[in-house]
């Protein structure tokens, strides 16, 4: 419905992954009781332990109990990268392509060591592999790039999960446009002539 249910204005020196749980809790608390299916998707800043644990815990404190399906961009680490690279070619399937690049996707057999609450089901990791058609190098000198998504949704295909996760792209930019240009959020209230300090912004 393109409705913002919770937001937070933060300083430019605040890391994107800092204190995401409180605003997530406010967002879910703002949903009406008629919402019976709940989902969460986010970028790699949301791959934060306290937030992931809260989403997985169906008996969670600070929010309604029950399942929340989620998918967030995983932070790449050496173990995850190694698992992606060694995934057999037969398991990769087409994801998308254009005139310049080809994208493949697959399920990854990656099970990180976990401690604490026994959540029942393990986390699911899926990967995207990006290759240039003309054997050209990416800016960092690599020939292939890998990205991963971590989720607790197991009954969707890899492609459907990735497409749903990536539907979030551009949504926050649209919110920023409305705040800055339609609601005068582009200037600070203390001085109408001063632009918003670099780095400051809204978290939705």
pLDDT tens column, 19-62? 889 999 999 999 998 999 999 999 999 999 999 999 999 998 87
| pTM greater than the 0.95 cutoff | no
Question: Measured in whole angstroms, how far is the alpha carbon of residue 172 from the centre of its chain?
Answer: 12
Q: Determine the Cα–Cα distance for residues 143 and 131; give it in Å rounded to an integer.
A: 7
Above 80 in pLDDT, residue 174? no
Query: Residue ranges per domain, the chain?
Result: 19-185
Other Cβ atoms less than 10 A from the Cβ of 174: the count is 11
Q: What is the mean pLDDT of residues 110-121?
A: 70
Return the H-helix or E-strand segment holding 96.
strand 93-97
CA-wise closest residue to 7 among 185, 141, 140: 185
CA-wise closest residue to 162 among 119, 105, 118: 105
Q: Determine the Cα–Cα distance for residues 20 and 161; give it in Å rounded to an integer.
A: 22
């Amino acid at each position: 419905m393109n409705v913002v249910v919770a937001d937070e204005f933060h300083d430019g020196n605040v890391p994107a992954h800092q204190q995401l749980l409180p605003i997530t809790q406010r967002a879910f608390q703002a949903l009406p009781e008629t919402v019976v299916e709940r989902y969460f998707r986010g970028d790699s800043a949301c791959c934060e332990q306290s937030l992931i644990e809260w989403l997985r815990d169906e008996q969670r404190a600070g929010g309604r109990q029950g399942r929340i399906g989620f998918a967030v961009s995983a932070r790449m680490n050496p173990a995850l990268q190694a698992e992606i690279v060694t995934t057999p070619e037969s398991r990769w399937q087409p994801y998308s392509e254009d005139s310049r690049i080809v994208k493949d996707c697959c399920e990854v057999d990656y099970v990180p060591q976990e401690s604490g609450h026994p959540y029942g089901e393990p986390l699911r990791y899926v990967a995207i592999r990006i290759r240039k058609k003309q054997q050209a190098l990416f800016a960092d000198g690599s020939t292939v790039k890998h990205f991963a998504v971590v989720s607790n949704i197991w009954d969707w295909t890899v492609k459907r999960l990735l497409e749903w996760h990536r539907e979030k792209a551009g949504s926050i930019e649209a919110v920023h446009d409305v705040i800055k240009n339609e609601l005068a959020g582009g200037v600070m209230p203390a001085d109408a002539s001063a632009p918003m300090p670099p780095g400051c912004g809204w978290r939705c």
